[in-house]
Amino acid sequence: MSKLRNDVKPKRIVIPSRKIVAGRSTEDEKLLSAPTKESSAFTHTDPWRVMRIMSEFVDGFDTLAELGPAITIFGSARTKADQPQYLAAVEVARLLGEAGYAIITGGGPGIMQAGNEGAKAAGVDSIGLNIELPFEQGSNRFVDVPIDFRYFFVRKTMFVKYAQGFVIFPGGFGTMDELFESLTLIQTGKVQNFPVVLYDSSYWGGLLDWIRSTMLAEGKISAQDLDLLLVADSPEEACNSIIRCNQDREWREAQEAGARTVTRKVMGTISDQW
């Protein structure tokens, strides 16, 4: 039974607008801004925004439809061109290119630029999926096929849809976002036979230790979920992990099936308790 009294009107909730802190307002920010009484015109603008979102999907699908096998490389935009991680990313992309994969990145600087540079060195398609930000960011000079997006979720779809796997270099929040989203998609069966390679165990070791000692120890994930993560410390190892997953599909599918089986069993038990 509801605890609300019919004779008492609830107080009106005033939702403060989310204002951009600095720089120009992006389309993502406009979309995610909570509507206020003063901005009631959103009922007219949001339906039209759907058309713009749809057009971005169409542009992405149309441009990448005939791309062929590809790998997406993620990592920090702050990595400098003379740093070991940058040089390693160039080599990983070059080796993957020579193995027949096109390279997809976010199109920006740092590790993204390194991935595109390696693709150019290998003579394969070098894709840059650029995103509109409050501060200016154009595609790096090694991108052959640039696609500009206003909405993060459209761009994220392209990263996954047209890739046969991810190689993830050290990075910050954006890199973590892509990492855990990919694991969730695999764990829930949304994508199949999709290798996720973490490059540089010295960087990722702390996170992996925490996942084992906290998430696994408290039962928030299963031991099989850890099999979804592959770790590499050399360009050759990273490239070979990707190739093995795509050539020996049963090996990777067995790892993914283990994680999904446990997830399905756990979620079934939780559903029975509802």
- Domain interval for residue 194: 56-265
Q: Residue 75, by phi and psi: left (phi above 0), alpha (psi -120 to 50) or beta?
A: left
Q: Is residue 273 part of a domain?
A: no
Residue 42 included in any domain? no
Residue 270 lies in a domain: no
When divided into structural domains, the chain yields a total of 1
**Residues 100, 122: Cα–Cα separation, whole Å:** 9
Q: What is the pLDDT of residue 17?
A: 39
pLDDT of residue 108: 95
pLDDT in tens, the chain (274 residues): 333 333 444 333 333 433 444 456 777 666 666 656 665 565 567 777 888 899 999 999 999 999 999 999 999 999 999 999 999 999 999 999 999 999 999 999 999 999 999 999 999 999 999 998 876 568 999 999 999 999 999 999 999 999 999 999 999 999 999 999 999 999 988 999 999 999 999 999 999 999 999 999 999 999 999 999 999 999 999 999 999 998 888 888 888 888 888 888 887 766 556 5
* Predicted local confidence at residue 18, as pLDDT: 38
Q: Residue 35 — left, alpha, or beta (φ > 0 → left; ψ -120 to 50 → alpha)?
A: beta
The answer as to whether 104 is a domain residue is yes
Residue 43 covered by a domain: no
Query: How does strand 145-149 pair with strand 126-131?
Result: parallel
Q: Decide: residue 198, CB within 10 A, 0-12 exposed, 13-18 middle, 19+ buried.
A: buried
* pTM over the 0.85 mark: no
CATH number at residue 125: 3.40.50.450
Query: Residue 266: what pLDDT?
Result: 81
- 3 located within any domain: no
Q: Is residue 49 part of a domain?
A: no
**Residue 258: how many CB atoms within 10 A of its CB?**
16
Is there a domain that residue 106 lies in?
yes
